[in-house]
Chain A
Amino acid sequence: MLLELNDVSLSLKRDGKYVKILDGISLQVKKGETVGIVGESGCGKSMTALSVMRLLPEKAKLEGVIQLDHEDITSYSKRKMEKIRGNKMAMIFQDPLTSLNPLHTVGRQIEETLILHTDLNKEQRKRRVIELLNEVGLPRADEIASEYPHQLSGGMRQRIMIAVAMACNPSLLICDEPTTALDVTVQAQILDLMNHLKDVNEMGIIMITHDLGVVAEVCDRVVVMYAGKIVEQANVKELFINPKHPYTKGLLESIPKLGVKKAKLGSIPGMVPSPDKMPKGCRFYERCSSAMEVCKGTTPPMSSVGEEHTAACWLYEEKGGEMNGSSGSEGLEATLHN
């Protein structure tokens, strides 16, 4: 296993008090695998990524265990984290303009990562920069290396970000909405590039996106988050064909699909609860059309609902109960009611 999150929770200080933003996140990424994280705005996708990278706001309280290559990195010092960031793991953000330094040429920014993490000499670094720019599909690499971020288009900047991230051949690459700010034709180029790099480098990738089309196209496995918790996990085909959690179902029904014209889209009524007013039971309860009495008061455990397919919903607790060995009497009753 390349990356393993075990019961990770994160609390952030808001208006003087701690609010739990992530609650018991457990997920895994294998070598060469792309795992998608989807969910509504504010559900904690970025915070999950930033917890792994330990790029958290001040006074953040992180609990649980995060292992990279079987090493517990939660206990790493700041310095040690700095060393593995950009080296063993790297991250790409939605807006390349805010993560690139406007005052330095793009060549220099790529080179800086190489200075920080490799023993290459100046000559070798220059060559590696050109090589990287070529790898991410930028023409005229020589010229582009001496240009500044604002001189490049959005798609080119995102390619530079990818080049920076790839500079040290990280084993884990985290992408937070890498194509959201791009036009579809440019997004297609970047996704194509990422698919290619993934095949070549055997990286593990976390792909955070709100676009289920992107998920279907690049991910092997999907993690669905809702209000700071994981509600479902499955391989990509299984998730799209056989979604189990009512939230996932609602999400899939609400997207208009190219080539399919429907009179009416599905939709999920209501809105996401805010982190400081989380309901006691299932966090989806208020918006769920299958909700039962048990859902209101008690948080549903993660149940196995198929092969490597889990969902946190009382509808499935009967089956999950057998497999988990936990008694599911409440859930059983609930299922019967349904």
Chain B
Amino acid sequence: MALLEVKDLKQHFTIKKGFLGEKKKVKAVDGVSFHIEQGETLGIVGESGCGKSSLGRTILQLIKPTSGDIFFGGKNITHLPRKEMKELRKDMQIVFQDPYASLNPRSTVRAILETPLIVHGVGNRQERRKVVEGLIDKIGIRKDQLDRFPHEFSGGQRQRIGIARALTLNPKLIIADEPVSALDVSVQSQVLNLMVDLQKELNLSYMFISHDLSVVQHISDRVAVMYLGKIVEIADVEELYRNPLHPYTKALLTAVPIPDPTKKRDRIILQGDLPSPINPPTGCAFHTRCPVATPECKEESPELREKAMGHWASCIHVHHEQSEKTKINIS
């Protein structure tokens, strides 16, 4: 059984637009299904505004989903009463992009790490102290630094504190929303290595959100590519990077500048920008920028289908590598 399973999840925001305050819908997440196994990392990639953060926040139910179901450990948690949800929050934690904004500047590191334990009534003072000291040991911060404030730490250290805070309650799943995007590369690698080590040690599952395809490749077991609120492709990491099927994934992968000047690649340059999620294009939402689009793409909304073992893509021009087409059914 998967640790997390999401079925046809939708997050539609209503916004007021224009002079007359006309109401419009932003389909930030629009029918997303996937699962994450215990101890596994699912990477979520896609361009700005494609719905990555909304997806993460909806799963944690920081915002209520418009529709769809979320299962955690086999249990449907979409409509849990408040109290049960609070209990469940211990198991699902989030790490944010901005280590500067996400830590209370007026709390010491000790207080920051102890607060979740107090809120959830875990242990007595002494036990909590032990938990906190065990944690900072894992993230490479010294005991004598515990009574310092966030601004006295570097960006990488702050992000490690953010990770430690997410770990205080022994979660099973961590949703990490661009956790290294604000960091310098040399510091980014410290944090990535830490996340990998902790995963092994604690058998954590990660949903790792990032716009950086190289970082996602490094950390993920499987990867989902999003475009305008939908998953357009999902596969094992090696498979996805070696054999991308969806035209969007192909373009995305060739667009990444590679730090190797001896390699010159043919690049697929997409025309135009990401369309607005308020009035997404009809049919396949990618057809306005797709280099291989045909008139059918404008009409037909492609479904995510399994094109090869464990490799799903939503494009009518990608053919099944075996004979039979299977409809998505992840359970």
Q: Is B308 an interface residue (CB 8 A)?
A: no
Which of A40, A189, A216, A258 contacts B269 (CB under 8 A)?
Answer: A189
Query: Which of B30-38, B81-89, B185-193 contacts its partner?
Result: B185-193
Q: B274 contacts A183, CB within 8 Å? A: yes
Q: Is B144 an interface residue (CB 8 A)?
A: no
Query: Which of A78-86, A88-96, A166-174, A260-268 contacts its partner?
Result: A260-268
Chain B residues lying within 8 Å of A184, measured Cβ to Cβ, are 47, 211, 213, 252, 255-256
Which size bracket describes the interface of B in this complex? 35 or more
Q: Whole-angstrom distance between the alpha carbons of A189 and B254 in the complex? A: 12
Given contacts A268-B186, A271-B156, contact A258 B261 (CB under 8 A): no
Q: Is B238 an interface residue (CB 8 A)?
A: yes
Q: A183 contacts B47, CB within 8 Å? A: yes
Q: Is B196 an interface residue (CB 8 A)?
A: yes
Q: A250 contacts B267, CB within 8 Å? A: no
Chain B residues lying within 8 Å of A255, measured Cβ to Cβ, are 185, 189, 214, 259
Whole-angstrom distance between the Cβ of A267 and the nearest chain B Cβ: 4
Q: Whole-angstrom distance between the alpha carbons of A214 and B258 in the complex? A: 7
Whole-angstrom distance between the Cβ of A74 and the nearest chain B Cβ: 31
Given contacts A185-B252, A261-B218, A261-B237, contact A153 B273 (CB under 8 A): yes
Q: A254 contacts B47, CB within 8 Å? A: no
Q: B258 contacts A258, CB within 8 Å? A: yes
Chain B residues lying within 8 Å of A261, measured Cβ to Cβ, are 217-218, 237-238
Given contacts A258-B213, A262-B218, contact A216 B257 (CB under 8 A): yes
Which of B189, B251, B258, B269 contacts A213 (CB under 8 A)?
Answer: B258
Chain B residues lying within 8 Å of A257, measured Cβ to Cβ, are 214, 258-260
Chain A residues lying within 8 Å of B269, measured Cβ to Cβ, are 185, 188-189, 192
Q: A258 contacts B256, CB within 8 Å? A: yes
Which of A191, A210, A214, A216 contacts B185 (CB under 8 A)?
Answer: A210
Q: Whole-angstrom distance between the alpha carbons of A236 and B261 in the complex? A: 7
Given contacts A184-B255, A216-B259, A264-B196, contact A251 B217 (CB under 8 A): no
How many A-B contacts at CB < 8 Å in the complex?
Answer: 127
Whole-angstrom distance between the Cβ of A148 and the nearest chain B Cβ: 17
| B262 to chain A: closest residue by CB | A237
Task: Tell me the chain A residues, 265-285 only, with Cβ under 8 Å from chain B.
Answer: 265-269, 271
Chain A residues lying within 8 Å of B48, measured Cβ to Cβ, are 183
Chain B residues lying within 8 Å of A251, measured Cβ to Cβ, are 185-186
A155-185 vs B, CB cutoff 8 Å, 1 = contact: the mask equals 1100000000000000000000000000111
Q: Is A252 an interface residue (CB 8 A)?
A: yes
Q: A212 contacts B273, CB within 8 Å? A: no
Q: A256 contacts B215, CB within 8 Å? A: yes
Q: Which 9 residue pairs are nearest across A and B when measured between Cβ atoms?
A: A213-B257, A256-B218, A254-B189, A188-B255, A265-B189, A183-B47, A212-B259, A267-B189, A268-B186
Can you show 25 pairs from A to B with CB atoms below 8 A apart?
A40-B186, A184-B213, A185-B270, A186-B47, A188-B255, A188-B257, A188-B267, A188-B270, A191-B257, A210-B184, A211-B257, A213-B214, A213-B257, A213-B258, A213-B259, A216-B260, A237-B262, A241-B262, A250-B186, A254-B185, A254-B186, A257-B259, A259-B217, A263-B196, A265-B218
Q: A184-B47, A186-B273, A268-B190 are in contact. List 14 more A-B contacts (CB 8 A).
A: A185-B269, A185-B270, A187-B257, A188-B254, A189-B269, A211-B257, A216-B257, A251-B185, A251-B186, A258-B253, A267-B187, A267-B189, A268-B187, A271-B154
